[in-house]
Amino acid sequence: MIRDHAARIKHDLGKYVAFQARWLPDDPADDELREALVADLLSTRRGPDGSMDALQVWDAFRAPLVGDEPLEEVSVDLSEHRAFVELDQSMTALRVHVEALRAGEDIDLGLARAQALCVAQACTAFLNTFRELS
């Protein structure tokens, strides 16, 4: 149950939060990096009904992990679990960049890219924690 949820987090958030930005060279042009970050952070999940930004994706996945809603009809609270805390803190740090991009504001592109990559790594670590428990 938790492992399946963690696998969806890794796929839907971890894979796409830095999907384009991770393939850019170490020192990309600002416009190229901004375009990649806008796509990755503001359209993290895309589908026929539209797109969701990274915060919306995380908020949907987060709620059942902290007991705000059931996870497959079971109440779970991982709010104190090390791997969850690391992922949640990474998303908190990324939040300012997503909100600034939503508002059309300038951001520190390099820092936003690094933070998006941290979120991707934290998603992998979160999944790996629960893979090892199965």
Question: What tens digit of pLDDT does each residue of 65-96 get?
Answer: 999 999 888 899 999 999 999 999 999 999 99
> Residue range 105-110: average pLDDT?
96
Spatial separation of the C-alpha atoms in residues 6 and 96, rounded to whole Å: 24
Q: Could you tell me the two tokens for 19?
A: 């999907």
Helix (H) or strand (E) holding 62: helix 54-62
Per domain, the residue ranges of the chain are 2-133
Residues above pLDDT 70, as percent of the chain: 98
Residues 2-24, mean pLDDT to the nearest whole number:
96
H helix or E strand, kind and range, residue 36: helix 30-42
pLDDT at 133: 62
Predicted pLDDT at 116: 98
pTM: 0.94
33 neighbors 24 (Cβ within 8 angstroms): yes
Nearest in space to 5 (alpha carbons), one of 74, 52, 56, 53: 74
Helices and strands (H, E) in the chain, number of each type:
5, 2
